Amino acid sequence: MPLVSMRQLLDEAAKGGYGVGAFNVNDMEQIQAIMEAAKETSSPVIIQASRGARQFAQDRYLYHLILAASELYPEIPIAMHQDHGNSFETCKSAIELGFTSVMMDGSLKEDGKTPTTFEENVEVTKRVVDYAHERGITVEGEIGVLGGVEDGHGAGGSGLEHITDPDQAVEFAERTGVDALAIAIGTSHGAYKFTKKPDGSVLKMDVLIAIHKRLPNTHLVMHGSSSVPKDLQDVVNQYGGKLKETWGVPVEEIQLGIRNGVRKINVDTDNRLAITGAIRKVLWESPEKFDPRDYMKPAREAMKKVVAQRMREFGQAGHSGDYKPVSIADIAKGYKDGSLSTRPLVASK
Ligand code: G3H
Ligand code: 13P
Ligand code: ZN
């Protein structure tokens, strides 16, 4: 099956009332792990690459690896997504390469660190939407700023500094026409999100619910949504790692989000932990080993296990065969003739 539009994938998720995990990749083994999990659970998938990933792997490798996945697993709908695009040019280059979806993260300036003004965010995001929709490509925007820094990207801080304002979310969705809207509700990228199990004082599910009430048909996106499970932390530390105690986003909070309009859930850190733990274990227990396959195979298997579990928990499991993918050219026609709406439904306060 050819790569599909993320918009179609999220529209179907909304119909079915489930969420779809968006998993970050940097190499072949991570793509293989996601595809094996998708096959095992019959799930549609979003595979995403950050700017750092595109640089690390040389993005043509990533593109062709994902194309290989679409050939090897023809029954699985795959959307290929640019994570945290920092400029119009980054999104344009992803589209030219063959990504079927881009995130224009206009919440930060092109440096990926400094928060923008609302007007700057609207302007750059709308520019990407106009360019992308003409080509049938999905756009995710972000309003509000996440905490933490990953690979040089991020405003830093705790995640509570720039929580999304529901009125701004409504205006942003109306003025940009984005297909999916990432919001900031107190989460951060990376392993260190919360110093104890998060309650409503640090994880603002009430803000998410308020935004969903005002924008009932808008696909919401939760970034920084790794759960950072203790068992994964423990494996890393048991075999020589030095992770400090930390808490992520509990799966039940994500499930509450899914009941309130969340359709895309970004997960990277949990997979990083699973891979690192598995590699550490092999090298710790068998220091004589030096064939990369001896540790990459268990690493891939560990990531597959996490991804399959999330696919079941988010509800996407069992939905890979629900619909016939529409071609990207037909998606472009849909944006043009208005059958694919870009005007959000707005409910009064
Ligand atoms: O945005 C955060 C993702 O975990 C990607 O991280 O920029 O280090 O590849 P990265
Ligand atoms: P985590 O660091 O919580 O996995 O978040 C990943 C993410 O939001 C990628 O955009
Ligand atoms: Zn993110």
Q: Is 83 in the pocket of ligand 1 (CB under 6 A)?
A: yes
Is 282:244 a contact under the CB 8 Å cutoff?
Answer: no
Q: Is 92 exposed, middle or buried (0-12, 13-18, 19+ CB in 10 A)?
A: middle
Residue 77 token pair:
């709908």
Ligand nearest to C-alpha 153: 1
Q: Of all atoms in ligand 2, which is nearest to the CA of residue 83?
A: 10
What pLDDT is attached to residue 152? 62
What pLDDT is attached to residue 112? 87
Q: Is 271 in the pocket of ligand 2 (CB under 6 A)?
A: no
What pLDDT is attached to residue 151? 56
**Rounded-to-integer distance, Cα 295 and Cα 307, Å:** 19
Q: Is the pTM of this model over 0.75?
A: yes
* 3-state SS assignment for residue 203: coil
What pLDDT is attached to residue 2? 87
What pLDDT is attached to residue 147? 73
Ligand nearest to C-alpha 22: 2
What pLDDT is attached to residue 153? 63
Fold of 6-337: TIM Barrel (3.20.20)
| Most ligand 1 atoms within 8 A of CB, residue of 46, 50, 81, 270 to mutate | 50
What pLDDT is attached to residue 349? 82
Query: 181 CA distance to ligand 3 centroid (A)?
Result: 12
Positions in the chain whose pLDDT score sits under 50: none
Query: 154 CA distance to ligand 1 centroid (A)?
Result: 9
What pLDDT is attached to residue 24? 98
Q: What is the pLDDT of residues 187-216, one digit of tens each?
A: 999 999 999 999 999 999 999 999 999 999
Q: Is 264 in the pocket of ligand 1 (CB under 6 A)?
A: no
The domain segmentation of the chain, as residue ranges, is 6-337
Q: Is 320 in the pocket of ligand 1 (CB under 6 A)?
A: no
